[in-house]
Structure 1
Amino acid sequence: MIGNQTVKHLVIVGGGTAGWMAAAAFSKLLGKSISVTLVESDEISTVGVGEATVPPLILFNRYLGINEQELMAFVKGTIKLGISFENWKNINESYIHPFGQTGKDTWAASFQHFWRKGLELGVDYPLGEYTVEYQAAVQSKFSHMPGSPLTYAYHIDAGLYAKFLRGIAEKAGATRIEGTVQDVVLDDGGYIRSIQLASGEIIDGDFFIDCSGFRALLIEQALHSGFEDWSHWLPCDSALAVQTESVREPVPYTRSIAHTAGWRWQIPLQHRVGNGLVYCSRYMSDDEARKTLLDNLEGRVISEPKIIRFKAGQRLKHWNKNCVALGLASGFIEPLESTSIHLIQRGITRLLQMFPSNGIFSGDIDEYNAQMKTEILSIRDFIVMHYHLTEREDSDFWRYCKNMPIPASLVHRINLFKETGKLFVESPYKLFAEPSWLHVMVGQGVVPERYHAVANEMTDAELKQFLEGIRSSVQKAVQKMPSHHDYLQYYCKAPEWS
């Protein structure tokens, strides 16, 4: 035990998605044991460009007792069944990374082994033919299917999501204080004792959550927790974001479209489209990035493009002393695959599980940091894989990505799949399960050289029947669904006046 003070007052520095997710969770679940204060300034804007999420957020919302229809209408949300990757493997080639299960696994071997043998038998349908979420995405359909629900996430207005959570937090007793942090006061042991605002007000606390974004006011500026730089594997360091009016019905997937020095996104909401361009400043100037983004927009621009600078990496300590960093203060991988809000959620969940009500123990700190590192490293490898497994050589950026050394853990996973078709993602802290790795590897051009012997236990006719049966059931399930647009209109249409 390294701190015996009972934690009764939790102070969150910074609002935005991270701050209000934390405030809502801690005030709702621990509100009888602790007081929660959130400090934010209207003068400091949040990054707030992330509008795509991943499926675990649905569980977070359920834990908070959030009604999905009410939330979706409030945040003007749409459904996300996956991500369309365009021009990543090669120019004018695309694939979708869908959520959900692909095919049917056995206890000895996963579905890709049966699919791989099927290729040799002339059953050469793409993996997406065996995935309900994939087919629903390309056909722009969605429904809550009884008995066999789809795995899905949301496209949301991040600012409205934070506003929605603020209502939950304040109803549960959280207090918001307007102000800008001017100083962080430490005690003799190096723990944070209080923060001082520009107004002169001093706010004492027993435990602090740093949601101050890239500034990392507490975790880095005050506690000097250190940073692990991954920009040699993830060279993109800048992004431009802009919003446009909708010109077509929203599709239930995010678009990620690679360009000569990075990629751009399109995220459809009910009332507008979020657009952005991620790039590496070594290979593309800001002016060129702005022109590339604006030249590829659909619909009237309704916001001024803003530049965000970032560096891929993580804090060496996500929990240091009596402070935990969430969101951009804890590090940033990059926007690809929409992992930022998920890592906020995971940090909150872990801190709830290890909350130091009766004092701060080194075991809790070490376990928290170890779990965060395990999960983040797996996500890092997954993102690096998108860049490295490319056949593009049309620019210096893509030549660098294709030929750069990659983490040994990723080398092993790619080689194992390429040589044997095997994928093992066994960490309890994984975000991306085997089907995700499968679709991205195959989509980027890696097809296994071999398959598991269990696939030979079926006759050729039985295997063909097995594959066709899955494909047929996928088609029948999607045929029954309404269009994504009709679903939104019926289930969670945003008010016209909002």
Structure 2
Amino acid sequence: MQNTIIKNLVILGGGTAGWMTAALMAKVLGKTVQITLVESEQIGTVGVGEATIPPIINFNQALGLDEKEFLRETNGSIKLGIQFEGWSQPGESYMHAFGNVGKNFPFCDFHHFWVRHCQQGGRDSYWDYSLNYQAAVQNTFSPIAKIPNTNLPGISYAYHFDAGLYAKFLRRYAEEKGVKRVEGKVSDVRKNPESGFVESLVLESGQAVTGDLFADCSGFIGLLIDKAVGSEYESWSQWLPCDRAMAVPSASGERIPPYTRSIAHACGWQWQIPLQHRTGNGLVYSSSHWSDEQAHEALFGNLPGEPLAEPRIIPFKTGHRREQWKKNVVSLGLASGFLEPLESTSIHLVQSAATRLIKCFPHRGIRGEEVAEFNRQSRVEMERIRDFIILHYKANQRRDSDFWRACEDMPVPDSLKEKMELFRSSGKVFRDFDDLFTEVAWQQVMIGQGIVPADYHGIADGLTDGQLADLMQSLKTLIQGTVKQLPPHEAFLSRK
């Protein structure tokens, strides 16, 4: 393989991961690489990743997709953030809203001014200064880049969509770009006896699909990355206690709110994802604390409409492959690892892995240096997202069940512990290089779950009391005035 130009990429598995990978590869590498996707209609997909984060906008734009057509074909809706209900204490809620909060200051984030304001008696919520939050709770949306007549950032958004319809939409796109689809189940994987590299996939029909590089999008089974080349799996269940999900679609409610709901229960949490034609629902829970029957009772007791199908149970183990790229197999999606859908990162991790593969795509043979860099970046990305998700569990203040008490008491990675302690004492939080989540995202989750800084940055003292009061009031007025001018979310979705 060292002197062989990589000409044939074989993707095993369809679904969202497979067709996202195929579409992006065809768009960027289609003129130099033959892309073949192998999938079987007999094998189902997990397909519960229906909520996304703002980088999906960049992915769709890179492919040249029309937003109106995309939303129509996937029954999609707009997502402005995630509403966390009962995560700090029962009955309390906050939102991880996308986009900016307040006004950006050099060397000092806005929340320092808010902390000073609160210490002087101000009673405003941090989210009074979030345009995304105010638009979300008032069920409005328009893709404005800036607040009118200011330099303040506008709305940042992502999507909810039907993952199955998105895969079909991307399949049409990819096949038009030259991707060859092969129907069939893999019965054998042939490897080079000396190098251990995969050479071909043998289907039940007897057909052999050969390739130079293989992308494993086969889901939890990891047919190539696990079974064929043996990349070890590192479990993170000591920090992320949930190991099962129960998913069911239901009829929609009266409105289509432009945000995801994450509702904490006694031994896990429930998602509600509003689409145009239905609502996606699921319960993520710990099998050590709840039986499937108890989970069923909790989920079906809190649906926004009549269930439209029988529930599916999805066992999982949080963690990642120690080598997401091993030999000539690159794993993407669930084959590479799994972080529960609390912050809607599953589809993004496919996007980022496919982008990373393009940047590290081998030319004349597969080189260890490229593989090592791909794996390093993948590991760092997963660990930082892992810490952000652990934060939600660790920072809960619930004492109403063994599950939540164990989460609050558990030791966490030093990287997270240090970040929490720094914020609690000083209000400072720093985004690591290439961290997916911004400082504002960390601030919202920590403040929302009761970690309010004891101090603030001294730069915030640069304003007089009167100037600070004027700043806070003017920002609230601007945000509320802007939201009042936005159309209802449903009106945006119904545009032709």
Q: Same fold (TM over 0.5)?
A: yes
Matched with 1:174 is: 179
Count of aligned pairs between the two proteins? 489
Read off the aligned partner of 2:322 and give its amino acid letter. Answer: L
Q: Deviations over 1:20-77 (max 9, x none)?
A: 0011111121111011000001010000011100000110000001001100011000
- 1:411 is aligned, of 407, 414, 417, to 417
Identity %: 50
Q: TM-score, normalised by structure 1?
A: 0.97
Distance 1:4 1:415 in 2: 51
Matched with 1:356 is: 362
The structural deviation recorded for 1:360 is 1.1
What runs of 5+ residues in structure 2 fail to find an aligned partner?
Answer: 147-152
Matched with 1:158 is: 163
Cα-Cα RMSD = 1.0
Q: Deviations over 1:372-425 (max 9, x none)?
A: 111111100000000010111111111110100100000000000000000100
Q: Deviations over 1:139-167 (max 9, x none)?
A: 11100225454110000000000000001
Are 2:30 and 2:177, in contact at CA under 8 Å, matched by a contact in 1?
yes
Distance 2:2 2:329 in 1: 12
Read off the aligned partner of 2:399 and give its amino acid letter. Answer: E
Aligned pairs for 1:57-456 within 5 A: 57-147=56-146, 148-187=153-192, 188-428=194-434, 430-456=435-461
Greater shift, 276-285 or 22-31, is seen at 22-31
Are 2:9 and 2:212, in contact at CA under 8 Å, matched by a contact in 1?
yes
The structural deviation recorded for 1:105 is 2.5
Q: Deviations over 1:323-358 (max 9, x none)?
A: 110000000010111000000000000111111122
Matched with 1:495 is: none
The structural deviation recorded for 1:213 is 0.2
The structural deviation recorded for 1:183 is 1.3
1:30 and 2:36 equivalent?
no
SS at match of 1:490: coil
1:461 and 2:460 equivalent?
no
SS at match of 1:445: coil
Distance 2:398 2:415 in 1: 23
Are 2:131 and 2:154, in contact at CA under 8 Å, matched by a contact in 1?
no
Read off the aligned partner of 2:144 and give its amino acid letter. Answer: M
Distance 1:105 1:417 in 2: 18
Distance 2:407 2:364 in 1: 48
Matched with 2:9 is: 10
Distance 2:187 2:55 in 1: 36
Read off the aligned partner of 1:272 and give its amino acid letter. Answer: R
Distance 1:303 1:127 in 2: 40
Distance 2:277 2:86 in 1: 27
Distance 1:409 1:437 in 2: 13
Q: Deviations over 1:416-463 (max 9, x none)?
A: 0000000100312x2110111000000000000001111111111111
Q: Deviations over 1:109-138 (max 9, x none)?
A: 111111100002222211111110010011
Read off the aligned partner of 2:207 and give its amino acid letter. Answer: E
The structural deviation recorded for 1:247 is 2.7
What runs of 5+ residues in structure 1 fail to find an aligned partner?
Answer: 492-498
Read off the aligned partner of 1:441 and give its amino acid letter. Answer: M
Read off the aligned partner of 1:461 and give its amino acid letter. Answer: G
Distance 2:297 2:130 in 1: 37
Distance 2:159 2:304 in 1: 21
Q: Deviations over 1:282-306 (max 9, x none)?
A: 0000111112111211222111100
Read off the aligned partner of 2:429 and give its amino acid letter. Answer: L
Are 2:145 and 2:155, in contact at CA under 8 Å, matched by a contact in 1?
no
Distance 1:456 1:243 in 2: 51
CA pair 146-418 structure 1, distance change in 2 beyond 3 A: closer
Greater shift, 371-380 or 104-113, is seen at 104-113
The structural deviation recorded for 1:3 is 2.8
Read off the aligned partner of 1:201 and give its amino acid letter. Answer: Q
Matched with 1:471 is: 476
Read off the aligned partner of 2:452 and give its amino acid letter. Answer: V
Q: TM-score, normalised by structure 2?
A: 0.97
